[in-house]
Amino acid sequence: MKKIFFILTIVSLGLTSCTDESTFSNPSHHQLSNGSFLRFADDGVAASYPDPQDIVISESIYDANGNTSSYSLTVTAVLSGSLVVAEDFLTITSFPATLNLTTQSLGEALGVDPTTITYGDTFNFVAKSMRNDGTMFYGQAPSFDDSTNTVGLGNTESNLTNIAAYKSAMSFGFIVSCPFVQAEMLGTYDVVFDDGFVGASQDFVFDVVAGANANQVIMLDPYGSFYSPLDIVVDVDDFGIATVDRQAAFGTDEVCCAGYSLTYVETYTTSLALSCIGYIDLKLSTGLGIPPSTSGYTFGDTRFIAQKQ
């Protein structure tokens, strides 16, 4: 049964909805001093690794603004469902440098037996870097808790960490993937995270069925749209990397505004469909328009995560 959006969700979406993509500029940003920001020289850490006992990461990083004196990493891992954190487990003080991580070194940093790292385990890294004047920069977006009037530690704009082209070494992560088997992927899923776009909020349930070939599945109306059926076709490579070509997902008027086309989604960066653990994690861009157009406006980038029951 459809549920009504929470009022807070509607207000939040209303503030950011239907943004004209041609107006993404903020002159005030040009008046800010350069912060400390570390980037990967190449493509950076992969989103998934297929062998839990053979994780090998060797990536060159450099000081994008030439003003960094130190860089340290904290890793938050979910290992077989248990949360484990290692703060500041690695520090680098000279740049350019090479970031080296392996199954063995991650296990040692987290205080676990490396042989227990397995499929479905996730590793998320957040850096902090010190500018030459002693100012600390954290790989998190600025935040403010209006219930406590508390400003968060984050002082790195989200665009720098979310847009793939910036190749951020301030915030990144990966999951241990597994060979894709379509039959294992089929079944009923719970929506874990949806950025507020699912019609029945975050306890919505949907089914996944087989697609046209062995590397394709179809999510049946995953957003719970009143325009149902708006099914989402997902193509998956042999190691669980998922791709969604542009397709209609939900009605724009279900979220905020009448007079627009349906909202379309497509993957904009590495996304996952891991059959061995029944896990879907799609990073989606959105697009909509004023009919007959279906483009020109956007809700921005979103994320959709679901777990098989």
CATH of the domain at 268: 2.40.128
Instruction: Give the pLDDT score at 197.
Output: 80
Are 131 and 61 in the same domain? yes
Q: Tell whether the model's pLDDT for residue 261 goes beyond 70.
A: yes
Determine the Cα–Cα distance for residues 145 and 147; give it in Å rounded to an integer: 5
Are 51 and 144 in the same domain? yes
Query: What mean pLDDT comes out for the span 101-110?
Result: 96
Percent of the chain with pLDDT over 90: 46
Q: Band the pLDDT of 100: cuts 50, 70, 90.
A: very high
Instruction: Give the pLDDT score at 147.
Output: 60
pLDDT tens for each residue of 106-157: 999 999 999 999 988 889 999 888 888 888 888 765 444 556 544 445 445 4
Q: Which DSSP string do the residues of 3-36 spell out, in sequence order?
A: -PPPHHHHHHHHHHTTEEGGG---GGGGGSPP--
Instruction: Give the pLDDT score at 87.
Output: 94
Beta strands at 48-49 and 171-176: parallel, antiparallel or unpaired: parallel
Q: How many domains does the chain have?
A: 2
Percent of the chain with pLDDT over 70: 79
Of residues 191 and 37, the one with the higher pLDDT is 191
Instruction: Give the pLDDT score at 247.
Output: 96
Are 130 and 202 in the same domain? no
Q: Residue 107 domain-assigned? A: yes
CATH of the domain at 133: 2.60.40
Are 133 and 213 in the same domain? no
pLDDT tens for each residue of 278-291: 999 899 999 999 99
Of 120, 147, 176, the domain-final residue? 176
What's the DSSP call for residue 263?
Answer: E
- Nearest-CA neighbor of 281 among 194, 171, 158? 194
Q: Tell whether the model's pLDDT for residue 27 goes beyond 70.
A: no
Cβ–Cβ under 8 Å, residues 298 and 260: no
Beta strands at 216-219 and 205-210: parallel, antiparallel or unpaired: antiparallel
Q: Tell whether the model's pLDDT for residue 159 goes beyond 50.
A: no
Are 172 and 192 in the same domain? no
Of residues 187 and 32, the one with the higher pLDDT is 187
Instruction: Give the pLDDT score at 21.
Output: 40
The pTM score is 0.60
Burial category of 1 from C-beta neighbours within 10 Å (exposed 0-12, middle 13-18, buried 19 and up): exposed
Are 226 and 257 in the same domain? yes
| Top-ranked range on mean pLDDT: pick from 8-22, 41-55, 204-218, 271-285 | 204-218
Q: Residue 20 domain-assigned? A: no
Instruction: Give the pLDDT score at 119.
Output: 85
| 33-42, 122-131, 238-247: range with lowest mean pLDDT | 33-42
Instruction: Give the pLDDT score at 29.
Output: 43
Q: Residue 12 domain-assigned? A: no
pLDDT tens for each residue of 165-222: 446 788 888 989 888 999 999 999 999 888 878 764 445 899 999 999 999 999 999 9
Average pLDDT of the chain? 81
Of 158, 176, 194, the domain-final residue? 176
Q: Tell whether the model's pLDDT for residue 24 goes beyond 60.
A: no
Residue labelled with tokens 């007079």: 259
Of 120, 154, 176, the domain-final residue? 176
Q: Residue 151 domain-assigned? A: yes
Instruction: Give the pLDDT score at 243.
Output: 96
Are 118 and 146 in the same domain? yes
Cα–chain-centroid distance for residue 154? 17
Cα–chain-centroid distance for residue 138? 18
Are 134 and 234 in the same domain? no
Determine the Cα–Cα distance for residues 250 and 259; give it in Å rounded to an integer: 14
Are 205 and 280 in the same domain? yes
Q: Tell whether the model's pLDDT for residue 16 goes beyond 70.
A: no
Amino acid at 278: G
Instruction: Give the pLDDT score at 152.
Output: 47
Q: Residue 10 domain-assigned? A: no
Query: What mean pLDDT comes out for the span 55-84?
Result: 91
Give the residue numbers spanning the domain of 287: 179-308
